[in-house]
Structures are given as C-alpha cells and as structure tokens.
Structure 1
Amino acid sequence: MASATPALAQESGTTAQIEENQAIIITGTRQANRSAADTVAPVDIVSSDELTNQADTDVSNLLRIAVPSFNVNTQPISDAATLVRPANLRGLSPDNTLVLVNGKRMHRAAVIAFLGGGISDGSQGPDVSTIPTIAIKQLEVLRDGASSQYGSDAIAGVMNFIIKDDSDGGMFTAKWGSTYEGDGDLYQIGANVGLPITDNGFLNLSAEYGESDATSRSVQRDDAAALIAAGNTAVADPAQIWGQPNVNDDFKTFANFGIDFTPNLTLYAFGNYAERNVDGGFFFRNPTNRGGVYAGPLVDPVTGFADPNGVPSVLVGDMSNTTAGDCPAGIPLTGTNGLIPDPTILAAVSADPNCFSFVELFPGGFTPRFGGDLRDFSVATGVRGQVLGGLDFDLSYRYGKNRVDFFINNTINASLGPNTPTSFNPGGYRQAENLVNLNLGHEVSLGSTGSMYVAAGAEYRDETFTTIAGDPESFALGPLAQPTAAFPFGQGFSTSSNGFGGFSNNAAGSATEDTKAAYLDVEADLADTVTLQGALRYEDTKTFGDNLSWKLGGLYKISDSFRVRSTYSTGFHVPTAGQANVINVTTQFSNGMLQDEGTFPLFSPAGLIVADYVADSTANGGLGLARPTLGPEEADSFTAGVAGDFGDVTFTLDYFNITLKDRISRSSTINFTDALLYLAAREGVPVTSTTTAGLLAELSTAGVINRGDFTGFEDLTSFAFFNNAFDTRTQGIDFVANARLPFVDGATTQATLAINYTDTKVKDADATISATRIRQLEENLPNWKGFLNLTHEQGRMRGLLRANYFGSFYEAHLDDGTLPIDAKARVTVDAELGYEVIDGLEIAAGAQNLFDTYPTRNPWAGIAGAQYAVTSPYGFNGGSYYIRARFMW
C-alpha cells in the first residue's frame, strides 16, 4: 500500500498527481502539505484504482484485501449484523475505529451487531458501504490511537475517506459478475462527473446502483434429512441456507462542493444519500420439536392426552381458551423414528375448529426470511481559510442519519394460532447525529531551527438512538399464550414474530447522548531531521463523565532515506446511546436447540433483576459475581517503527501495542428463568411454574413486577446486557514494501508486499464472559494476514495479479464452544486484465479467488447445514469472475 498506484491529494482546492512516497495526507496531522513519509505515526494510502480494480462492489469487502489489518466476514444468519456487517481494524471492535469523510466524523449506523461472532458482539459502528466506491479519491488509514486528536472511538486507528473534488472530467463504469457455482450474480453501474462552479469552484457528483443475488453453500441438515427419510415431503432441501444475502436496489450517491470566494476563504459542502434492501435466511424450525410452536408434551400414543410416560408430540392449541381438555394436548409423533404426526389424531385436530396445530399450516417446518430496508443520509457544510494574517480556521456543521426498517417473512406469531400473519414488520432503529466543529491553527517560526504548527479547537456532538415499535402482531401476546383460569400459564405457544420479535411499545423510544470537547495539538519540525507532535483533548459526556487524553510522538530522519518514529497515546470510547438503552430479543442456536435471548439495559426492570441475580451471594440463590456496570473504556497505545525510501524501493515496519481496559461489549448470556426464580425466592413469593411466561405471570399477580414492563419477552430463556467485563492487550506488526520493477522499456511494473500480524489476549475477564467468548476474542481473526500485489501497465494494456494470505483461525460454530472449527490458513489469488480499446474506454476481465479456494470444511455441517467455516475472513463463496467497462473523459 502507501501506495501501489499514484494517489491524488488535495491542496488549496487543486488536484495534483504526486509520487507515491510523497503523497500528501490530512489524517493524523493538522499540518498542511505533510507527506505520508513524514508522519510520526504510520498512514497508509489506498488509491481509488486499488478499490475499483476488484471483483467486489461492497466497500467493506474491497478494504479487506487492500488494508491487511482490516477484517470483515460474511454474516449469513446474524440478525441485523447481516444488514450492516461489523468490521475490525487491528483486531478490535468496529466502534474502536473512527471513520471520517473529508476529515469529518461519519455518523454511526443504526444497527447494533448483537450477533457479531464474539469480537463484534454489541458493536455499533459506521456503515462504510453507503459510500460509492466511484466517489472515493483516496482512503487514508492512520494506524495509531488518535483519541486526543479526534475524540472517542479512535483507539484502533482512523479511516478517512477523501471524496473526489475534480471540477471537470468524469467516469462511467458498468460491471457484471458471478461465482463459479453460478449463483451470486451481481451487477453495478456507476458514474462520476466533475463540474466547474465559476472559475474558482467545483461540484463533483457520484452515483452507483447495483444488486447482488444470494448464494448457498449449504448441505441438508441431519434433522431435515431424517424428516424427509421418514416421509415428510414438505421439508425443503436444503431446509436452511448459508450464504450471502440478497442485496436489492443498492443505490448510493455522493456530492462534493467547494468554491473559493477569495484566496483565503473557501465555502465547502458534501453529503450523501444511500438506500438498499437486504434479505437473508434464518434457522430452520423443525416441525417436531421447535419450542413454543411445535414441541408438545409427552402424550398417550392413542388419545393424544398428556401422559408423563407417553411419547413426544406436536403441540395442540385450544382455541376456546376456556376449558382445558377440549383438545388433545398433542398429536403423537409416530411412524419412522417417531417423526411423523399420527395421521388419525392430526385429521381430528384439523377437522375440529376448536383445535389447532401448526403442522396444519407448515407441515414441513419453516425457515423465516429476515431483512431490512436501509437508508442513510448526511450533509456537511463549512467555511475554511485564513484570517488575521496567518490564523487558519475551519468551522463546520455535519448532520447524519441512518435508519433501518426490519421485516420478517415466512414465519408466525404462534400465540395467535391460525389467525397469525406470516409476514411482519418488527419495527426499526434510527441513529441521528449532529456535529459542530471549530479548528484553528497557526504556524510559528522557530528561526533557523524550523517551525511549529499550533492547532486548537472545540467540538460539540450529540446523537439520538430511536427504537420504532413494530406492528402489533409482531409482539402480541395472543390467546394461545394468555393466562386464563383454564390455562393459568398459557398454552405454551410463543409470542411475537418467530425469529425476530417485534419491538413492543415499552421497548420503543429515544435515547440521547452528547459530548463537548476541546483540544490542543502541537507539531514541530526541528531543523531538517526531527519532527515532534503532542496533543491534548478534554471531552465531557452527558452520561459517562469526562476524559483527558493525550499523545506524544516523534520522527527522526537518520538520513534522507531512513526514518525512525514512535508514538504513545491514551484513548477512550464511551458507550453509544444505543448500547446503553437498546432493548432487543433475538433467536440463537444453543445446546442443539433454538432459544430466544434478550438484551436489556442494566437500568431497565429486567436488567435490574438480572444485575441483582448476578451480584447477590450464592447463599441467597444468586451468582455471587461483581455487579455489572457500563461505562467508558480506556486505552494506552504505543507504536514504534522505521521507514525507508531508496528510490525504486520504499518500506515501513511498525510495531503496535494497545491495552484496552474495561471493554464495552455484550455479555455472555445469563439464564433468565433462574433470575426470576431468584427474585421469587428473595421476595418470598411461592411459585409453581418453571417457564419464563409462567414466572412472569405469578410474579405479576404477587405485585413484585409490573407485567407491562415485560410485554413481548415471555419466551426468553436467557438474557444479556452491555457491560465492562474484561481487558485486552492487542499487539502486532505492520510491514509494507513497494518496489518499481525493471521489466520492459516503456512499461511500468510495481510490486507491493503488505503483511500484518495481530495478537489479542483477554485479561481480567469476569465470570459474565464465557471461555468460548474469550477464545473467540483471541482467535476468531487470523493472526497473520497479507498480500503480494503486482501491477503492470504497458501501452493500452494493464494487468493485476495479487496473492492474499489468510492465516489460521478458530470458529465456535453457532457460537457454541463444543463445536470448534480449527480452520487452516489459505492463499487466494486475484487477477485482472484490462485493455483500452479506444481512447478513454477500457474493457477489463478478472477473477477473485481465481483457483476457487474454500475455507476449512465444517465437521459439524449436519447440525445446521453450514458446509464451511462461516466466519472465514475471505468469505466462503469460492471463486468468482467479472467483466467491467470503464469510460473516462
């Protein structure tokens, strides 16, 4: 990187072509005209060409083979994380990386990744996939802690997307591709145009539109295969899909504007609008044993009435809901291996309007389809320039909003019986942010010894996270779950839309957080050989107190060709308004069965119950652990490295060490039923039920809880919360080398070798974090990752060949530590060949994963149907190919 292809840089509103090792950057420094080679901390530059000359169309996927320390994987069955995939820089959580656009903080996505593969559980970061690739001029990646310069979140580093600012010319692209398997077709069209605004300004417009089809790398689940073998012809094959989701109507736009009113005063503005529809599959609901839908009691094999010595059954509901015994308790499971409902009793249940079983509606079980409609909008405007004979200033305002509206189809609210819809709108999330920023700077001469640039500024930022209630049917407590005299604990049917319960009215609402900050940043060039940097930032939050972070760094030029550099900094990250306040229920695979898991704020009624249960002594029925709390996380970061520039060969080698204390994360789950039993014992309430719904009913009758606070949560078996439960130490190295290779006269051949090693160790974890979760944090991402990239240009022909190395990793399949996958290292190869057929028009063809390399096969594939390790850092679709036309003028 840094950079394999020439990078464009912005300087006083003009655009210039600059040699790779002298590319001007604006990230990590307030100094004008600072090159990437002269920064005290490493900054990688990824050019527009590096992002566009690839098979993929998603920015996140493009970055994982352009930035070695950046990781993102496919999220096939991960609730909202499938819609906005969490990405990791340097092995840390997605919200430990600060994302900027044109130097201004990008707003977060509304999605919180409740299922994030261990590392990203509970994270809420920006959605970089809303940025059109064609709009990006260059990406600058600061590989250093920078909270003292930019504020909360900049612990792993900073990613700054610089948007094109050309005032003329343009580009049109069209791309089509598919996988070797013949699925996953994708296409994308894009356009960029630069327009002059008088003689002193520009308006640069970009847009992309595309779609990508779903893939399937699935095998039939063992239980579904057994159902088919037993004669159930309604079961799909495969019953459950593992693959990338459908992405429809993926539309992205970006506008960038600037005009110089005077040589010392510039007005600028930029903004975006994006939307897309994402639709993917969920877990298969087995028609014999899915709890709350199909799983019935032990019954007499002849009559279907309850019998503790009987056979398993399919649950039957009494629609009258007034007199127990009107209907059989269940339809006995008979036939081959006891997998087929008894046809005689099934016929009797179907014929009786007072009785109902879901095998009448979905005899082969069902697999919900879950997705969402995403919209993203932002606008920024400001003025910058110079006043008072040398005081630089930049005053700006930015507003950003991200929203997602969920949908789930091919599912039910079982408590509504035969009257259930099969499609639901469970509600949605909104994230809105305002940012006001003032930067001031002045260069001070140090005489013959050099100069010093002093920058200071202030910032105000607020965010609002909103949960929108779903349609009433998506969280309703229907007649088959309502307690009655005949059925005091309901009839055992689950409430809410199965798979993703709707947000009830008591879960809906808004939460806010705001931050006020001031900073001082000093950067001094002493003589020609030494650069020193120091920064100090004070930040005060509404809810989580204040913080003072600082940074010291230095660069020493041993010679014109060799530099050494080092930094030490402190950092912090405060919980988002969403993390602190969100209420959510999701369905996870646990102990071989599907179960509903809740996430609640610690201050909520449910959160207080569980917090007391966790903290109370074992003698009182609690767990006897430290009481969970939620507050800021703090970091100490150290880097040291060398950089060399020997003409045709340049390199950087940097070591980093990040200690992160009190990490914010979603806890491992706590048994909610046990917590309610603890509450009943503490309050002296005699209870007879052992189910969540029953316990809630009894505790409500006794006046211990307000039943309305738990609407929609009757099916919970476990509970999680956001807390500060562990520390980590992450360390590693980054090596980047570039070389121009003598090959053919009149041709340009360049090679880039980039290697990243990252190792994370969990320290001081409390008992709310499981051993499986700890191993996921330490081993789910490969320690070693890198690529060797070759580009060749000769006349009208251009070629690219890249080998990508992904080290071994561990996967807790289905987040279950008893299902380990020790995935082996792999090398994938990408290739592209382009030819300029006429001036400005290039046709290119290429392949990603040329040799169709797959991750390690899943030894537990029969459990849920996943053929490969699904958290693979390079996906599990295998090879793909594409063609692209690009016209530039």
Structure 2
Amino acid sequence: MKNSTQRALQLNALSFSVLMAIGYPVLAEEAPATDRKTGESVERIAVVGSRAAPRSVGESPVPVDIIGSEEFTKNGATDMNDLMGKVVPSYNVNAQPISDAATLVRPANMRGLAPDHTLVLVNGKRRHRASVIAFQGAGISDGAQGPDISVIPAIALKQVEVLRDGAAAQYGSDAIAGVINFQLKDSAEGGELEFRSGQYYEGDGTLSQVAGNIGLPLSANGFANFSFQYRAQDDTSRSVQRDDAAALQAAGNADVPDPAQIWGTPETKSDLTLFFNAGLDLNDHQKAYMFGNWARRNVEGGFFYRNPSNRSGVYSNDGGATPLVGDLTGDMSGNCAGMTIAEAMASDVCFVFNEMFPGGFTPRFGGIVTDSSLVAGVKGDMASGLSYDFTASYGRNESDFYIKNTVNASLGPETPTTFDPGKYVEMERGLNLDFDYLGFDTWSLAAGLEYRRETFEIYNGDPYSFEIGPLASQGFGIGSNGFPGFKPEDSGSWSRGNAAVYLDVEKELSNDLLVTGAVRYEHYDDFGSTTNGKLSAIWSINDNFSLRSAASTGFRAPTVGQNNVRNVTTAFGPNGLEDQATLPPTNPISVQKGGKPLDPEKSVNLSFGGVYNANNFFLTVDYFHIKLKDRITQTSPLTLTDEDKAALVSQGILDASSFSAVRYFTNDFDTTTQGIDLVATYTPEWLDGSSFSLAYNWTETTVDKFNPDNISASKVKALEESLPHHKGSLTYNQALTADLRAMVRLNYYGAYWEDHLGSDGELPIDVSSAFTVDAELGYDINDDWNVSVGAQNLLDTYPDDNPWAGVAGAKYPITSPYGFNGGFYYGRVTYRF
C-alpha cells in the first residue's frame, strides 16, 4: 500500500481519459485556507472529480478548482451568476434586458458552450434544472434550459468546486463543458449576519440585502446548518429616446413616454431564499444526511415599445399607411374601413387603440420564480472496505408569468391591460445508489445505479390572455400583446424517465503514473440508449512539475421542455418587430417547416496541460478541445407566408394567423470549441501579507456544419463571436495591518460581436475590448464585527456606444459581459458569532 499522500494522488475512475491538467482560480488557493475566527489552517477538499474519495486540490490529478466562500464576499455583486462570472474566467453572463423569460432566469455560458452543457451539483448531487427556457439567448444560449443557480446564496456556501473537463461518463447528461458543485456549510455552531447596500454611480439600481447563517447541533452527533438571504434591487435605465418616438414627439404627440423603451437591469422586487444542510451520525459506520431549499423571486422588466402609428395587429397592418380601425357593430355594418384616426375616434361604433394609448405603449413583463428541493440519503462503510451512498432527491422550479400595460387587441375596447399568461413548471425526481471500494493494493473501484424522472408542465393563462376576440377577423392580434397566454390545448404535463449504470476503475502503474477509466450506460424512454467512456492519466515528472491528459465521450439529452415547450415572443425580424412562435418540433406548424423529433447531442472531449508548483509560485496551463455534434438549438425565425397561414388555419390552427415567423428546436449544427486556461499565483516573501493571482481564459468556437435552411449566417456568427474570446483578471490582496485589508482586481474582456436586437445581422456591432477595476477595503472592528466598502467597475467603464441606438433606444450594446450600467459602489457590515 502507498502512503496517504500517494493514495490522495489517485485519479478517480470516472474517466475513460488520459488527464493531465489542473485547476485554475482555486488552485490559486493551493495554500490551505485560514479560518477567520480561529486562525487555524483549513485544507480544501474537492468532492467532484472522484467517485472513490474526496481529495485535496493540490493532490488531485483532475482539473478541479475550489473557490472559497470568502472569494464571493469580496464583490459588489450578490447574484450567484454574477459572482461566478467574477471568479471563473471562462464563465460569462449578462443582464438580459427585454429577453422574455430569460429575464427571470439568466442563461450563463462556461467554456463558450450553452448553459445546459454544464452540470450543476449541490453537495455532490445533481441539481434540478429551471423551468425557464432561454428563447432569446444571443445565439449561443438560444433554447437552453439550465439550472437556476441564482437561488443559491453565497452565505450558505462552504466552497464551490469547478471541474473543467468533460464528465458525462462520470455524472451523465449535461457535463460536457464541466461540472460545478456547490458545497453547503456544515458547521454545528457559530454563524453570521450580513447587511449590504449599494448603488450605481448614476444613482439607480439601489440594492438592499440582508443574509444570515447559523450552525446548530443536531443531538451530540450531528449538525443542522441554516441560511437565508433577502434582497431587492431597483431597475436601471441606460436608454435614449427611439427615433420613431422622437419623431412622434416632434409631430406634437405629447403622450409618447420618454424614454419610450427602457434598457437596463430589470427590477428585482423581492428575492427570498432559504437553504438548510443537516447530517447525523447514526453509528460509527453510518450517517444520514438531508439538505434542500425554498426560494421565491419576483423580477420585472420592460418590453419593446408599441408605436401608435404602425404597430402590427394593434394600430396598423400596413406599416402605418392606414390605421387599423375596428368595427364594433358585430355585423361590421359601421362602415369603419378607410377611416382616419380622428374619424374613428369620433364614431360610436368604430374603434382605434389610439383612444386607449394615444402615445403607444410599452408592456411590462415579469414573473415569480419559485424553487424548492429536498435531498435525503444515508451512507456508510462496511468492514470489507466497501462504502455505499443511497440518495433520494426531488426538485421543482416554477415560473409564473405576468404582463401588464398591454392589450389583447382582438378584444377591442373591452380588453384588460394586465394579464396572467400562465406558467411553466419543471420537476425532477431521482434515486441513486453508489458504491466504492479501496481494498485493493493499487486499484480503486466505484460503481453505481441511477434513476431519474423529469417532468415539464405548462399551465394555461387567464382566458383574456389567449382569447380570440371579436376583432380578430378584422386583423387585430390575438392574445396578450408581447406574450400571449398559453391556451388550454397548449397546457399539459410531459414526463420522461432514464436509468443509468456506471463503473469506474483506477490503477497505479507506478509511483509516478496513474491511469483511470470509466464507462457509463444510460437508457431514456424517448430516444433510447447511449454509452460513454473516459480514459485519463497523470504523470508526476518530479516534485514540482506534472503532466496530465484526458479523452472522453459525452452527451446531452434534449430536455422534456425543449421537446414540448410553446412560447410566443415579440422580437426584431427582417420587417421590424414581429410575433415569433417557438413551438415543439412535432407541432404541425413546425413540421410544415421541417421539424422532427430531437436526438441527443454527442461530444468528444480532449485536454492536456501541466502544473508547476515551487517557492510560493503556482502555475497551471491547460488546453481543451470539445467536438460537439448534433447540437440542439432553436432555428432562426422561419417566415410564415400567407399560404402557410392559410394551410394551417384550414387544419384548425387558428392562431397561426397571428404569427409572423416560427422557430422550433432542432439538431442542425456541429461545432468545435477549443481554449486555454492559465492560472498563476504568487505569495512573495518580500511583501508581507500580500498575494497575487492571475487567471486567463481563451475560448474559441467554430461552427463546422449547419443547415442553412434553419440556421442563418448571422446566427453562425453569433455562435462564434458573441462571447469574448479572451477574458482574464489580475488580483492583488494585501493585509495592511492585522485588522485592515485591501483587494484590487483588474479585469480584462476581449472584443466580441453583437447581433443587436437579434436582427439577423441587420444591426451588427463590433464591440471593443475593455478593462475594468474592482476594489474593496475591509476592517475588523473586533473579533465579531467587520465593515467593508468597495466598488465594482471603479473607473465607471462602459462598453462602446451603440451605433444603432435610435432603432430601439439602447445606448450601449446590451450583451456586454461586464454590463452596461457603469460603476457600482457598496458597503457591507458583517457580524460573526
């Protein structure tokens, strides 16, 4: 048997790969962390990357980064998505203004791939995905349905582990870009309260937050740890008046709002989240555990402005040449056709929406996201050396939408202006039984069984949100304008089950060389079976330098939501604003345009790299190469001709007349994504109390093949260019005195391309690279109280001005990876007990 250090160097048998890389932001924490209360060293242990046994980051041969909870507190941001974007260079997220349901659950991208290409775990167990599907995801995230990590409060976390390697052979579907594991606090004593407030330099976006954590004993042999966070944040506006709205004002229309359309961070009206984590030693060899959460968030943002002269289906159907006048007589005997707006407004039997909204209107869209989960299990070890872990899990995410300051135009003057369009619900239930055995001399084994059932539900909206009113036959739009409600025939519940079995083996070929392998078989109810594997190895050349490499196959199953979702959104198309329907690929409208059932995505992951560690200096460089086939995305908007609509209406699909275009999910393109992660940390002896860390990522995606009938050239460009190819940060931490410390971080964001407003390349923006600076100063008043002040984007850096600002009023490119709100200052008071 080898000693404990050599044993910890073993790579888990979760891979059919030849590994050789190493982590980045957390390997910056190669030195043990320090407990702030006791001053004692705390070794960082990673759970992901090995089924056999957790191991320290410094000894792990898998590329795992560990981010301590203290790294999340040194930020002005409070949303977990924004925090991850600060500490993980390959992680990108933006504000998502005017983005339908994606406003509620923002999509994020790791290693240049879609949100659902990254598997999310909590305490090592799979996290359920969100009910929201990102219909407007700036190309790269279109149609993605990933987990909602924004419900996880930073104060509940002990650490975050990021496995940067293809891991579908280890963990199953979604683990193509990597795995993120959120480890909850497990202390049985102590706690803290945190009060935070901040505001953007321009005086808006005011944040108020209170958070707390407490650890309690659960008898003499266990713990119960509880956390909460409540926050609210005002919206922001970085808008200019639209050209068309300005022209209306210049012509004397005093009812036009200014700005007519608001571009900014949506308002978080309320955001409450609760987490708990508990464990109990049943005896010397067996432990029970349970953890879960409940969260509720209310977010509201704006939509596109409806121009009172030319908005299709409301004010005019010929671009403003003639007004859309409704005949209220029932038999259309009012002779309203051809009237001017003034004539219609003077008539008792004719109607124009200028009577209700003479200056046009801008809908307000929002939703209440409710998230809950419960995971319980028991684990233990036997005298034979065999360990087991049995887990049952349940997760549910609900998005209940609302829209106001809008109309169901087909109802004419009887329309309400506030609607409940319905809701989406995602539910997941799972059972896991895992075993591992370390009883052999140079071998380790792990195996397991898993069953998971996923359900997606659509609940119809209130009748007014989808009703076909009396003016529909006269050309007025059907349903709540901007986000029509789900009809009863759209509602339903769809489920799918899948079962999996995996086997992992690892073998020490010598004191310096470890090889591991893994294979996983999964069967799905809807599309059948898939088998994936991984092979990996690590070679320690000397005490300071190691090499490792990996090769694996992977997959991502299409979600039940992607197979069955229905949504109508207003977006820019070739003819300006239009209603675009996203429908299941098997819907008759989709089938008419080439839709067919979805297949799983398939990937091949390769990586290699090296690590150097000596004399307070730590350096890692890793290259990765991900080949992804049959990628799932939404098609580009496919125009519905008058002939298409007529054919569909004849089949009884009456609402087809309201759609300008249709989109559906399809496996219609292949990509290659490659990149480099570089991390260096240095703790100089000549500058007491200081540390420097450099983290850099280069990622580039190439579309290898696509169907030009469904995927436009601009979408290809968005997939390749909409994220910065280069992103990095240089952080300097300094303990000025025993009680006073400072942090300064220089962030770099490379150039990128924006298809502004999803205009299919009609409004392109080449956005320049940029640097931003974050800074924080913290002071310990005593052992219990701490105060900190800081600024995010200290120098108030904005992206380039938007050359198309007059089109829809956005002053800056809206997909900026560092936002477009400018500098944000904040203060924080923490009490620890």
Does TM, normalized by the shorter one, top 0.5?
A: yes
Q: Which amino acid is 2:673 matched to?
A: T
- Specify the SS of the correspondent of 1:211: strand
Name the residue aligned to 2:504.
Answer: 521
Equivalences, count: 803
In the TM superposition, what whole-angstrom CA distance separates every residue of 1:13-67 from its partner, at most 9, and x where no partner exists? xx99656xx6321111123242223333311111101111110110000111100
Question: Residues 328 and 349 of structure 2 are in contact (CA less than 8 Å); yes or no, is this contact kept in structure 1?
Answer: yes
Alpha-carbon distance in 2 for matches of 1:695, 1:291: 22
* Aligned equivalent of 1:318, options 323, 327, 330: 327
Name the residue aligned to 1:715.
Answer: 658
Question: Residues 136 and 161 of structure 1 are in contact (CA less than 8 Å); yes or no, is this contact kept in structure 2?
Answer: yes
* Aligned equivalent of 1:839, options 783, 788, 807: 783
Alpha-carbon distance in 2 for matches of 1:498, 1:9: 54
Alpha-carbon distance in 2 for matches of 1:740, 1:496: 62
Question: Residues 496 and 712 of structure 1 are in contact (CA less than 8 Å); yes or no, is this contact kept in structure 2?
Answer: no
Name the residue aligned to 2:640.
Answer: 672
Name the residue aligned to 1:122.
Answer: 143
1:563–1:34 distance in 2 versus 1, CA, 3 Å? same
- Specify the SS of the correspondent of 1:602: coil
Alpha-carbon distance in 1 for matches of 2:327, 2:264: 39
* Aligned equivalent of 1:735, options 672, 678, 698: 678
In the TM superposition, what whole-angstrom CA distance separates every residue of 1:551-592 from its partner, at most 9, and x where no partner exists? 001111111111101000000001000001111111111235
Name the residue aligned to 1:760.
Answer: 701
Name the residue aligned to 2:392.
Answer: 397
Cα deviation for residue 630 of structure 1 reads 1.6
Q: Does 1:462 align with 2:405?
A: no
Name the residue aligned to 1:877.
Answer: 821
Alpha-carbon distance in 2 for matches of 1:378, 1:763: 39
Name the residue aligned to 1:748.
Answer: 689
Measured on the aligned residues, the alpha-carbon RMSD in Å equals 1.8
Name the residue aligned to 2:476.
Answer: 493
Cα deviation for residue 380 of structure 1 reads 0.2
Alpha-carbon distance in 1 for matches of 2:408, 2:556: 39
In the TM superposition, what whole-angstrom CA distance separates every residue of 1:480-526 from its partner, at most 9, and x where no partner exists? 01xxxxxxxx1110010000010011111011111100000112344
Question: Residues 8 and 47 of structure 1 are in contact (CA less than 8 Å); yes or no, is this contact kept in structure 2?
Answer: no
* Aligned equivalent of 1:2, options 26, 33, 36: 26
Alpha-carbon distance in 1 for matches of 2:743, 2:832: 20
Cα deviation for residue 672 of structure 1 reads 2.0
In the TM superposition, what whole-angstrom CA distance separates every residue of 1:174-195 from its partner, at most 9, and x where no partner exists? 0000000000000110000111
Percent identity of the aligned residues? 49
Q: Which amino acid is 1:129 matched to?
A: S
* Aligned equivalent of 2:724, options 754, 769, 782: 782
1:442–1:876 distance in 2 versus 1, CA, 3 Å? same
In the TM superposition, what whole-angstrom CA distance separates every residue of 1:827-868 from its partner, at most 9, and x where no partner exists? 000000000112221100000000000011110000000011
Name the residue aligned to 2:493.
Answer: 510
Question: Residues 311 and 317 of structure 2 are in contact (CA less than 8 Å); yes or no, is this contact kept in structure 1?
Answer: no
Q: Does 1:534 align with 2:517?
A: yes
* Aligned equivalent of 1:796, options 727, 735, 739: 739
Cα deviation for residue 321 of structure 1 reads 2.8
- Structure 1 or 2, whichever has the larger Rg, is 1
1:276–1:6 distance in 2 versus 1, CA, 3 Å? farther
1:600–1:121 distance in 2 versus 1, CA, 3 Å? same
Cα deviation for residue 544 of structure 1 reads 1.3
Cα deviation for residue 749 of structure 1 reads 1.1
Q: Does 1:366 align with 2:309?
A: no
* Aligned equivalent of 1:654, options 611, 614, 622: 622
Alpha-carbon distance in 2 for matches of 1:592, 1:644: 56
Name the residue aligned to 2:21.
Answer: none
In the TM superposition, what whole-angstrom CA distance separates every residue of 1:219-273 from its partner, at most 9, and x where no partner exists? 0000000000000000010000000000021001100000111121000000001
Alpha-carbon distance in 1 for matches of 2:522, 2:338: 61
Which structure exhibits the higher relative contact order, with contacts defined as CA atoms closer than 8 Å and separated by 6 or more residues? 2
Alpha-carbon distance in 2 for matches of 1:186, 1:282: 23
Name the residue aligned to 1:769.
Answer: 711
Q: Which amino acid is 1:724 matched to?
A: N
Q: Which amino acid is 1:91 matched to?
A: G
Alpha-carbon distance in 2 for matches of 1:94, 1:712: 31
Residues 243-262 of structure 1 mapped to structure 2, 5 A cutoff: 243-262=264-283
Cα deviation for residue 887 of structure 1 reads 1.1
* Aligned equivalent of 1:864, options 787, 803, 808: 808
Q: Which amino acid is 1:118 matched to?
A: G
Q: Which amino acid is 1:102 matched to?
A: N
1:5–1:569 distance in 2 versus 1, CA, 3 Å? closer
1:205–1:7 distance in 2 versus 1, CA, 3 Å? farther
Question: Residues 176 and 187 of structure 1 are in contact (CA less than 8 Å); yes or no, is this contact kept in structure 2?
Answer: yes
Alpha-carbon distance in 1 for matches of 2:291, 2:677: 33
TM norm structure 2: 0.94
1:555–1:197 distance in 2 versus 1, CA, 3 Å? same
Question: Residues 801 and 829 of structure 1 are in contact (CA less than 8 Å); yes or no, is this contact kept in structure 2?
Answer: yes
* Aligned equivalent of 2:301, options 273, 277, 280: 280
Alpha-carbon distance in 1 for matches of 2:204, 2:258: 17
Name the residue aligned to 2:19.
Answer: none
Q: Which amino acid is 2:795 matched to?
A: F
Q: Which amino acid is 2:732 matched to?
A: L
Name the residue aligned to 1:683.
Answer: none
In the TM superposition, what whole-angstrom CA distance separates every residue of 1:365-411 from its partner, at most 9, and x where no partner exists? 00000000010000000001102431110000110000010000000
Name the residue aligned to 1:32.
Answer: 53
* Aligned equivalent of 1:422, options 401, 417, 421: 417
More displaced stretch, 1-10 vs 451-460 = 1-10
In the TM superposition, what whole-angstrom CA distance separates every residue of 1:203-229 from its partner, at most 9, and x where no partner exists? 000000010110000000000000000
1:34–1:696 distance in 2 versus 1, CA, 3 Å? closer
Q: Does 1:561 align with 2:544?
A: yes
Name the residue aligned to 1:815.
Answer: 758
Name the residue aligned to 1:233.
Answer: 254
Alpha-carbon distance in 1 for matches of 2:102, 2:686: 46
Alpha-carbon distance in 1 for matches of 2:50, 2:209: 36
- Specify the SS of the correspondent of 1:838: coil
- Specify the SS of the correspondent of 1:445: coil
Name the residue aligned to 2:427.
Answer: 432
1:249–1:263 distance in 2 versus 1, CA, 3 Å? same
Alpha-carbon distance in 1 for matches of 2:705, 2:669: 5
Cα deviation for residue 85 of structure 1 reads 0.4
Alpha-carbon distance in 1 for matches of 2:232, 2:297: 9
Question: Residues 112 and 122 of structure 1 are in contact (CA less than 8 Å); yes or no, is this contact kept in structure 2?
Answer: yes
Question: Residues 5 and 50 of structure 1 are in contact (CA less than 8 Å); yes or no, is this contact kept in structure 2?
Answer: no
In the TM superposition, what whole-angstrom CA distance separates every residue of 1:648-689 from its partner, at most 9, and x where no partner exists? 111211000000000011111212226x44xxxxxxxxxxxx
Cα deviation for residue 743 of structure 1 reads 4.8
- Specify the SS of the correspondent of 1:662: strand
Name the residue aligned to 1:687.
Answer: none
Question: Residues 310 and 318 of structure 2 are in contact (CA less than 8 Å); yes or no, is this contact kept in structure 1?
Answer: no
- Specify the SS of the correspondent of 2:260: coil
- Specify the SS of the correspondent of 2:420: strand
Alpha-carbon distance in 1 for matches of 2:414, 2:349: 13
Alpha-carbon distance in 1 for matches of 2:205, 2:392: 40
Cα deviation for residue 696 of structure 1 reads 4.6
In the TM superposition, what whole-angstrom CA distance separates every residue of 1:401-436 from its partner, at most 9, and x where no partner exists? 000100000000000000000000000100000010
More displaced stretch, 660-669 vs 790-799 = 790-799
Question: Residues 28 and 680 of structure 2 are in contact (CA less than 8 Å); yes or no, is this contact kept in structure 1?
Answer: no
Runs of 5+ in structure 1 lacking a partner?
299-310, 332-340, 482-489, 612-626, 678-691, 700-704
In the TM superposition, what whole-angstrom CA distance separates every residue of 1:309-368 from its partner, at most 9, and x where no partner exists? xx922211001131355224342xxxxxxxxx5xxxx1x423432111000000000000
Alpha-carbon distance in 2 for matches of 1:382, 1:605: 45
Q: Does 1:849 align with 2:826?
A: no
1:353–1:325 distance in 2 versus 1, CA, 3 Å? closer
Alpha-carbon distance in 2 for matches of 1:422, 1:543: 41
